């Protein structure tokens, strides 16, 4: 808990900078998805809206995900689901980042749609170790390992698919409230000298179920747990398996102590295989 708290101000500043500069270098995720109510789809499935110029690389990344049982299960949860529309887009503006947004529910209260946007360079770029302990572990700098960009891209895709799965079990009302009130929280925070003990902010926290950073980091860490499961299967026979999993363990125990339980057991025991 202590470590996470220690990073609280920088985390909030990070979120604040993303709100102010949405296209800034840190473009990994959209933090506050939009929510809308739509008709129940009857012809759902996965709609891949990939510009022709990106198609070849997209197919390579997707094949990497589908090369594992875990990745196939993630994919098939939507591929054959007529009642859910998953749109996958690719955008040069997202670069090395990715995001999941446009959450849709129908009038009966079922979660029926989401959009994943992948950057055109997600086979490059490692997000910070504090909130992305798994994706970050693939940066093999200062080691002799060469970890393929395809694996990195597929791990990012697995991470995003987890955001969709998380929304399916979340409350629409709560996500909607968070998306609406977090900008309000941020605006007060910016004007009050960054005082998180401000009574209005404390009230907002109660209403949305935590501080913005707590809400956001919890979503990110769940997606990282998913990404770790994909990675565990994909690289189990690779020479760098222990290099990666020891780095995940180091990242999680250094920066995400409060969430260590989620990452068990792979990220806890030192890897010695
Ligand atoms: Zn994420």
Ligand 1 centre from 220 Cα, in Å? 5
Ligand 1 centre from 29 Cα, in Å? 5
d(CA 233, CA 166): 21
Ligand 1 centre from 224 Cα, in Å? 8
Beta bridge partners of 36: 104
Per DSSP, the residues of 106-165 read: ETTS-EEEEEEEEETTTTS----TTT-TTGGGG--TTSS----HHHHHHHHHHHHHHHHH
Ligand 1 centre from 16 Cα, in Å? 16
- Residue 110 corresponds to which tokens in the numbers above? 């079922």
Ligand 1 centre from 131 Cα, in Å? 9
Ligand 1 centre from 159 Cα, in Å? 6
H or E stretch covering 27? none
Ligand 1 centre from 235 Cα, in Å? 21
| Residue pair 48/58 in contact by the 8 Å Cβ criterion | yes
Ligand 1 centre from 154 Cα, in Å? 13
d(CA 175, CA 207): 11
Ligand 1 centre from 132 Cα, in Å? 8
Ligand 1 centre from 118 Cα, in Å? 11
Ligand 1 centre from 212 Cα, in Å? 14
Ligand 1 centre from 31 Cα, in Å? 8
Ligand 1 centre from 161 Cα, in Å? 9
Supply the pLDDT for residue 231: 96
Ligand 1 centre from 268 Cα, in Å? 22
Q: How would you write the pLDDT of the chain (273 residues) with one tens digit per residue?
A: 333 444 444 555 555 544 443 333 344 444 678 899 999 999 999 999 999 999 999 999 999 999 999 999 999 999 999 999 999 999 999 999 999 999 999 999 999 999 999 999 999 999 999 999 999 999 977 677 889 999 999 999 999 999 999 999 999 999 999 989 999 998 999 999 999 999 999 999 999 999 998 999 999 999 999 999 999 999 999 999 999 999 999 999 999 999 999 998 666 677 775
Ligand 1 centre from 143 Cα, in Å? 26
d(CA 149, CA 138): 9
Q: How big is the CA angle at 132 (ends 131 and 138), to the nearest 5 degrees? A: 155
Ligand 1 centre from 218 Cα, in Å? 10
Supply the pLDDT for residue 113: 98
Ligand 1 centre from 127 Cα, in Å? 10
Ligand 1 centre from 102 Cα, in Å? 14
List all residues 6 or more positions away from 180 whose beta carbon is below 8 Å from its beta carbon: none
d(CA 221, CA 132): 7
Ligand 1 centre from 182 Cα, in Å? 17
pTM of the entire predicted model: 0.88
């Amino acid at each position: 808990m202590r470590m996470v708290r220690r990073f609280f101000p920088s985390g909030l500043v990070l979120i604040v900078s993303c709100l102010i500069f949405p296209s800034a270098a840190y473009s990994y995720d959209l933090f506050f998805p939009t929510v809308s109510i739509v008709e129940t789809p009857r012809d759902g499935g996965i709609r891949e809206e990939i510009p022709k110029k990106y198609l070849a690389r997209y197919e390579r990344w997707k094949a990497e995900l589908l090369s594992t049982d875990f990745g196939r299960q993630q994919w098939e949860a939507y591929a054959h689901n007529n009642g859910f529309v998953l749109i996958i887009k690719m955008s040069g503006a997202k670069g090395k980042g990715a995001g999941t947004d446009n959450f849709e529910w129908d009038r009966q209260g079922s979660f029926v749609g989401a959009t994943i946007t992948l950057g055109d360079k997600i086979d490059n770029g490692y997000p910070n170790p504090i909130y992305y302990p798994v994706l970050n572990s693939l940066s093999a700098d200062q080691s002799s390992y060469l970890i393929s960009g395809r694996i990195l891209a597929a791990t990012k895709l697995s991470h995003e698919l987890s955001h969709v799965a998380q929304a399916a079990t979340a409350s629409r009302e709560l996500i909607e409230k968070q998306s609406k009130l977090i900008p309000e929280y941020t605006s007060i925070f910016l004007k009050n000298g960054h005082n998180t003990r401000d009574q209005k902010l404390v009230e907002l926290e109660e209403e949305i179920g935590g501080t913005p950073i707590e809400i956001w980091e919890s979503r990110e860490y769940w997606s990282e747990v998913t990404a770790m499961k994909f990675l565990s299967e994909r690289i189990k026979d690779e020479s760098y398996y222990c290099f990666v999993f020891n780095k995940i363990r180091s990242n999680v125990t250094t920066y995400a102590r409060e969430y260590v339980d989620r990452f068990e057991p792979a990220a806890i025991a030192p890897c010695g295989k």
